[in-house]
Chain A
Amino acid sequence: MLKVRDLVVAYGGIEALKGISVDVPDGQIVTLIGANGAGKSTLLRTIMGLVKPRSGSVEYNEENIKDLNSQHIVSRGITLVPEGRRVFPNLTVLENLRIGAYLRKDEEGIAKDIKRIYELFPRLEERNWQMAGTLSGGEQQMLALGRALMSRPKLIMMDEPSLGLAPLVIKDIFNIIRRINESGTTVLLVEQNANMALKVAHHAYVLETGRIKTEGSGRELLENEEIKEAYLGKKKK
């Protein structure tokens, strides 16, 4: 579905991505783990059209989307749940969901999807008319997820959805990610919380200062000694 090839992205003179290739096959959950500053967010922002790469290609369903602007990328079925949630604090919960469906014209479908998201996150329905800025961190993350789903994405990219959340909430979020994927949406998940992320992943990449260091199935990486030490906080025996 998504093929990233030899992608180089630079901010000013500094290369944040130094030529990386990533494949996201249809229907899977692909995870990218890496330390702070490795370039994870840069990859997602580049795919989304928010940052223009220096070289390389981003192919989505055989089409090169590298030079499209975000608006056209969204309309092709890609969306992003950004790092730090970034819900619109001055919009109500309902409006945040509605703006997720900004490019859609099917009012009935939108109403149905809002209902579906409220079934997925009952806490949000209770806060329907509240300004999103007044929600707790976990609620904001759910809203950011719901907002992304409102565009009916085929590929949903998530940037550290567990960041700063309580362990119980994180468990909820990962359950939801699994459910979103089971309903047919492809997921590209970026995480520092490697343990949880690798458990849900079909395939995973390890990113280190702008380069792919290793890749493999989620289980392979979970059992890889080096990764255990570097990302799972377990010492080699």
Chain B
Amino acid sequence: MELFQAITNMTAVSFAQHMVNGISLGSLYALIAIGYTMVYGILLMINFAHADIVMMACYFALFGITTFHIPWYLTFILTIAATALLGVIIERSAYRPLRDAPKNSVLISAIGASFLLENLANYLFSGRPLHFPDIPFLSSMIDLNGIQVQAICLFIPVVTLACLFLLLHIVNHTKTGMAMRAVSKDYEIARVMGVNIDNIISITFAIGSALAAIGAIMWGIRYPGITPYLGVMPGLKCFIAAVVGGIGNIKGAVIGGFILGLGEILIVAFFPQFSGYRDAFAFIMLLLILFYKPTGLLGEKMTEKV
């Protein structure tokens, strides 16, 4: 009854408004969730530093434009490249030396890498929020038949889907993608085939981090207060999105991201009295999925790596 009332109280315009917000937030979650799921697929570990890679990418873009006065489009390209490199460096220094160590050691190292990045950012950039620069057109509000949207919201889902299709093409139809899938099932035999495991893992981190950078740039335009801890909450939700979709599954991560983003926005829209609990939505979804379908929506049965 309450739901019915809430819906009827809402005009078509404001509903459309919430949908736009939800879809763009969901798209951003999806882009970041892909990174978690790809790394998990290949290393069977949660890359806790992924959230902080998102944060670092925001700062890269911010300083590129404000401090170094590089044109914004060029800054975005450099940010994506630098973030991909950062992901590879983290893998090489924090995870690769522990390749044969127990999984728990790698997890601890991942938490360490995450703390290191947060504290480094805090030290270098201060904990005070910095304002992500306004980007011509993308940051401005436009009016679509009475719906007020930031222009970037129209691009976010398009960019996300384009990234998804490109990624699926790489994974399913290229030699490198084939090697990635092989490595994710059986390191040792992939080696026997002549695959250089370390290269494939580096490529995985580079791709996941590049997508995180694309997400981070759009995040910065949308939510321009940049702090060293900005990655923490979205990172947690994106990891949950990956679990909800079925960890290790790229399409699943995207679906999970959309569910979480849309759900979070729509709950607040329909039940404003619950808006204090918006962050709880992701955790409720996590509990539900762990209870009813522990392998996630698109997840397959877990097979232990031999």
The chain A residues found within 8 Å of chain B, CB to CB, are 48-50, 69-71, 74-75, 79-80, 82, 86, 88-91, 95, 98-100, 102-103, 147, 151
The chain B residues found within 8 Å of chain A, CB to CB, are 175, 178-179, 181-182, 184-186, 188-196, 303, 306
Say what secondary structure dominates the interface of chain B: helix
Contact of B192 among A82, A89, A91 (CB under 8 A): A82
Query: With contacts defined as CB atoms under 8 Å apart, how many contacts are there between chain A and chain B in the complex?
Result: 58
Assembled-state Cα–Cα distance A147/B175 (Å): 15
Assembled-state Cα–Cα distance A102/B181 (Å): 13
Q: Is the CB of A86 within 8 A of B194?
A: no
Q: Is the CB of B182 within 8 A of A75?
A: no
Q: Is the CB of B186 within 8 A of A71?
A: no
Assembled-state Cα–Cα distance A147/B196 (Å): 17
Residues of B within 8 A of A49 (CB): 191
Question: Which chain A residue lies CB-closest to B300?
Answer: A90
Residues of A within 8 A of B184 (CB): 90
Contact of B188 among A50, A69, A95, A147 (CB under 8 A): A50
Assembled-state Cα–Cα distance A75/B179 (Å): 17
Assembled-state Cα–Cα distance A71/B195 (Å): 7
Assembled-state Cα–Cα distance A100/B194 (Å): 8
Residues of B within 8 A of A89 (CB): 185, 303
Q: Is the CB of A102 within 8 A of B179?
A: yes
Q: Is the CB of B194 within 8 A of A103?
A: yes
Q: Is the CB of A99 within 8 A of B178?
A: yes
Assembled-state Cα–Cα distance A103/B175 (Å): 11
Give the shortest distance, in Å, between A132 (CB) and chain B (any CB).
Answer: 10
Contact of A70 among B178, B182, B186, B194 (CB under 8 A): B194
Residues of A within 8 A of B186 (CB): 86, 88
Assembled-state Cα–Cα distance A128/B192 (Å): 22
Interchain residue pairs with CB less than 8 A apart (11): A50-B191, A50-B192, A70-B191, A70-B194, A86-B189, A88-B189, A91-B181, A99-B179, A99-B195, A102-B195, A151-B194
Q: Is the CB of B191 within 8 A of A88?
A: no
Which of A69, A79, A86, A100 has the most C-beta atoms of chain B within 10 angstroms of its own C-beta? A86
Give the shortest distance, in Å, between A27 (CB) and chain B (any CB).
Answer: 23
Q: Is the CB of A99 within 8 A of B193?
A: yes
Question: Which chain B residue lies CB-closest to A51?
Answer: B188
Q: Is the CB of A95 within 8 A of B178?
A: yes
Contact of B194 among A50, A75, A90 (CB under 8 A): A75
Contact of B196 among A71, A80, A90 (CB under 8 A): A71
Assembled-state Cα–Cα distance A69/B41 (Å): 24
Assembled-state Cα–Cα distance A145/B156 (Å): 47
Which of B185, B189, B192, B193 has the most C-beta atoms of chain A within 10 angstroms of its own C-beta? B192
